[in-house]
A = this chain, B = another copy of it.
Amino acid sequence: MAFTYLTNVSLAEAQREYFEHMRKLGFAAGAEMIPVSDACGRVTEKAVYAHISAPHYAASAMDGVALKAMDTFGATETTPVTLSAGRFTVVDTGDPIPSDCDAVIMVEDIVSHENGSITIHAPAAPWQHIRQIGEDVCAGEMILPGGTEITPAAMGAMLAGGVLEVSVLRRPVIGIIPTGDEIVPPCADPKPGDIIEFNSTIFSAMVSGWGATAKTYPIVPDQFDQIRDAVSKAADECDVVLLNAGSSAGREDYSSSVIRQLGEVLYHGIAIKPGKPTILGNVGSTPVLGVPGYPVSGIIVIEQLLRPLIDLWFRRDAGAAEKVKAVLTRPVVSGLKYQEFVRVRMGEVGGRLTASPLARGSGVVTSFMKADGILTVPQGTEGFEAGQEVEVTLLHAPERLRQTLVVIGSHDPLLDELGDLLHQEDPNLFMSSSHVGSMGGIMAVRRGEAHAAGIHLLDTESGAYNISFLKKHFPQGGVHLIRCVGRQQGLMVQKGNPLGITGFADVAKPDLRYVNRQKGSGTRILMDYLCKTEGVDPAAVYGYDREELTHTSVAVQIASDSADAGLGIYSAAQLYDLDFLPICIEEYDLLIPDSAWETPMVRQLIRTLQSDAFRDRLMAMGGYTLDRPGEEIPWMEL
């Protein structure tokens, strides 16, 4: 039943062989003439030569008079030379020099007389104060070599040289064919089972950035004949075709046989992860790529195989992407058989660059949006260990990493609001937050991986929050504790409370589907504390082992009737219009290591915590209390 791929070729070999194959078939850019004014960023097809010189006439470089230099030879203070009208011409800067003149004398250096003559007290050197023809560019000179990207200044130089149109490499047209019975165009109300087709939008934007033009075709159902007709049409109309498979690996996959019937398939299956089911084929001289349906796989395949194909078209070298060295915060385990691309979040904490692997599910498009870099695990390698130094390909400017506040710890939607306000207050600053629970946050701060951690840890002995945990994990101090919010924790249940839940102990009722949080989260610790104090046996709770990573994702399971109850904060319940049984108000504070304390990011964070804008947002979300946010808690002394 599992699909067997024909090949497991390495990426490097697939690239080399496929590009060579396409080159031999004549895959290369044609040229087109376009107006110079539209040519910014385009690539010259061949060398461009000036048609006229610039300046195209000898011009005065000063305001004054143009004359024959020879007429002024011998002039001195004591033996001035006087020229009658007719032997000179008054010129302004930029005026043409009359053909019988070869020098300009500045207006300051002449004495004018009423009869129209002038007197000169020093000789003019021939060609003084004249801007010579061709000073900028001479007719016939090469302005730009072929294969050169046209800059704004080059546009000016061409127009100065009388070149109004330029032959540039044509942009390749990339045809994108989405396929699949379950695929629907983007909409706000998809039915269960519908898969929203957003790959073509992502791919279009990517190829536009590389200088190509995207052409997206209507969605084609899973029917061999219809897919074949669509590929055949696109191969005629486009320079490259992307056949974007339905994301279901369980359905019959027609892509390979369609391409084989119309042309040839060089590879079906490449040793990369994600992206293995990729097909590299062609119809005539048009490359046809079978791209996997999962967005993350698709992005990787487009980046690794379509982008160099477009570079081949433009005969350009894309250059190596910028790489940096970073310390891996968690191990990455990979299979020997594949080259794997792992999206990582990065941070610069205490002068050290860290890389944290993001969720690896290939359906998770947000992981690409949150990623700061891509870590490549070579084929034949089992992965990397935590603490190992690895090389990461950056997805944005390295300065940005230095300006990003790295928050790792307990989840609360207020962190997103805080990040939004922080960036609004100072557009130089960014925030990146990862949800690993309160204990995960404490550990991240200890390991020097975070500038801040959100924590709400209940000391089940004293009933107090956070302080006893700091005393245990930071006996020497070295961290600051900042007051953030009090937040209402409680039991979220479906709207109208259909199961008639009256208190926490009801979570053990038969037929109640509970949804829990992950180990190490403050809310999980609260759950276990409540089980103990209320005499509930966790083994009796159906769904105790079902773990979600955020308050929001617990709420969404309940709202969509995939669960009946779960512990969480009031703002998450309010977001989904759930009923809420309050249990306690907990202290959600921010932990900040000494090394980050004086950074601009943390300074701005504290100002933002104290701002009215932050207060307004929390009040709108509901379930929060604010008591001197941003104030430091002297936890060592308590």
Contact = CB atoms under 8 A, between A and B. Distances in A.
Contacts of A51: 188
Contact of A188 (B138, B143, B164, B555): B164
Contacts of A552: 134, 138, 140-141
A303 to B, nearest CB: 10
Contacts of A559: 139
Given A40-B205, A142-B417, A146-B420, A57 B193 contact: yes
A99 interface: yes
Interface stretch (A248-256, A375-383, A622-630): A248-256
A83 interface: no
Contacts of A163: 188
A620 interface: no
Interface in A607-638: none
A333 interface: no
A63 B559 CA distance: 26
Interface string A39-83: 010000011000111111111000100000010000000000000
Interface string A220-258: 000000000000000000000000000111110000000
A92 B180 CA distance: 13
Interface string A127-169: 1000111111111111111111001111111011011100000
Interface in A72-113: 92-96, 99, 102, 107-108
A497 interface: no
Interface stretch (A171-179, A365-373, A453-461, A523-531): A365-373
Nearest to A55: B363
Contacts of A140: 413, 552, 575-576
A188 B36 CA distance: 13
Interface in A196-222: 196, 198-199, 201-206, 208-209
Contacts of A117: none
B364 A136 contact: yes
Nearest to A359: B135
Interface residues of A, number: 129
A361 interface: yes
Interface in A327-383: 361, 363-366, 368-369, 371
A475 interface: no
A139 B201 contact: no
Interface in A18-48: 36-37, 40, 46-47
Contact of A364 (B135, B144, B187, B206): B135
Contacts of A58: 560, 562
A561 interface: yes
Nearest to A106: B1
B424 A147 contact: yes
A319 B399 contact: yes
Given A145-B416, A156-B202, A159-B201, A136 B366 contact: yes
Contacts of A562: 58, 102, 132-133
A316 interface: yes
B198 A142 contact: no
Given A47-B420, A142-B417, 19 more contacts: A37-B204, A57-B193, A63-B250, A93-B247, A94-B193, A133-B562, A134-B553, A135-B363, A135-B364, A136-B363, A142-B420, A146-B423, A147-B424, A152-B203, A153-B366, A155-B201, A156-B202, A317-B428, A320-B399
17 contacts: A37-B201, A37-B204, A51-B188, A57-B192, A94-B247, A133-B560, A140-B552, A141-B413, A145-B419, A147-B423, A147-B427, A152-B209, A156-B198, A162-B190, A164-B188, A315-B424, A317-B427
